[in-house]
Amino acid sequence: MTWHAHGSGDPVTVVVPGLGTTPGEARLPASGLPGTRVVLTLPGHGDAADAPPGYWCYDRVADDVASVADEVGATAAIGTSVGAAALINLVARKPERFERLALLLPATLTESRGDPNLPLLRMSAAVARGDRAEMRELMLEQLPDGIAPGYYVETRVSALMRLGDALAALPGQAPLSDPAQVAGVHADVLVIAATGDDQHPQEVAEAVAAAFPHGRLEVLPTRAPLLTHRPRVRELLTEWLARPSRG
């Protein structure tokens, strides 16, 4: 796992992207935020080396995130999708690690996702066949109305075609076995949910926010908040970072 820092000063926030996120996308949740934003690049993404066999489990991803957070002295963390799950796993084991967490589009909390129609599993099958055309169709299905596919879809397809192992392994896992595992986390936790997104169901986000003692849920009326509601996401994250620490 590699990382790049943007900005300077406090707070120091680690940003953990979702699966198949391109380097440009990975920076979106941190764009315009105060302080230092440390954007991680997961194995098999961007210019990072491919993941070693057996890498894709939440414990292992979370351990790598914790190592970077310790290295840079992060007090806050933002995670999207897989990144959100890794952070949930991390704070369940290290409840005092962060003062603030923002969890965007969590896909699971305690239940694995074994539905064969789940986009990740359909993507896994497309990678196994080397079928870029099908992967492109699957990506197009995820776009909200009014968003032109263009370069975005092509770069995502290229990224996901490297990630067959992750696409196969992660739907069978969950970051926690019991919501009570995060009952001791005292951080301010902002959970941002989307509507109409089968990959990141609103009810999962509701369960995630309810699991944390200081969880707060924001539901945005879109399937892709970082594409259609970027100013609102930035506003929510800026306010979340500005809140006084619980100490």
Spans of all domains in the chain: 2-111+174-242
Q: Which of 92-101, 145-154, 181-190 has the lowest mean pLDDT?
A: 145-154
Q: Give the pLDDT mean for 76-95.
A: 97
Binned at pLDDT 50, 70 and 90, residue 117 comes out as low
In this prediction, residue 116 carries a pLDDT of: 60
Express as a percent the part of the chain with pLDDT over 70: 95
Q: Give the pLDDT mean for 10-29.
A: 91
How is residue 188 written in tokens?
Answer: 């301010």
Phi, psi of 80 (to 5 degrees): -115, 125
CA distance 12 to 7: 9
**Cα→Cα distances 106→30, 73, 78, 128, 200, Å:** 17, 25, 11, 25, 6
Q: What is the DSSP letter of 184?
A: T
In this prediction, residue 22 carries a pLDDT of: 83
How is residue 12 written in tokens?
Answer: 């120091």
Q: Give the pLDDT mean for 1-23.
A: 93
CA distance 191 to 179: 15
Q: 2-111+174-242: what fold?
A: Rossmann fold (3.40.50)
- With a cut of 90, say whether residue 47 has pLDDT above it: no
Query: Which amino acid is located at 105 in the chain?
Result: L
CA distance 233 to 97: 24
Q: Which residues share a beta bridge with 219?
A: 193
Binned at pLDDT 50, 70 and 90, residue 113 comes out as confident
The SS3 call for residue 176 is coil
Q: Which of 51-65, 137-151, 185-199 has the lowest mean pLDDT?
A: 137-151
Q: Give the pLDDT mean for 47-57.
A: 93
CA distance 31 to 208: 24
In this prediction, residue 107 carries a pLDDT of: 92
What's the whole-model pTM score? 0.93
Q: What is the DSSP letter of 114?
A: -
The SS3 call for residue 124 is helix
- With a cut of 80, say whether residue 149 has pLDDT above it: no
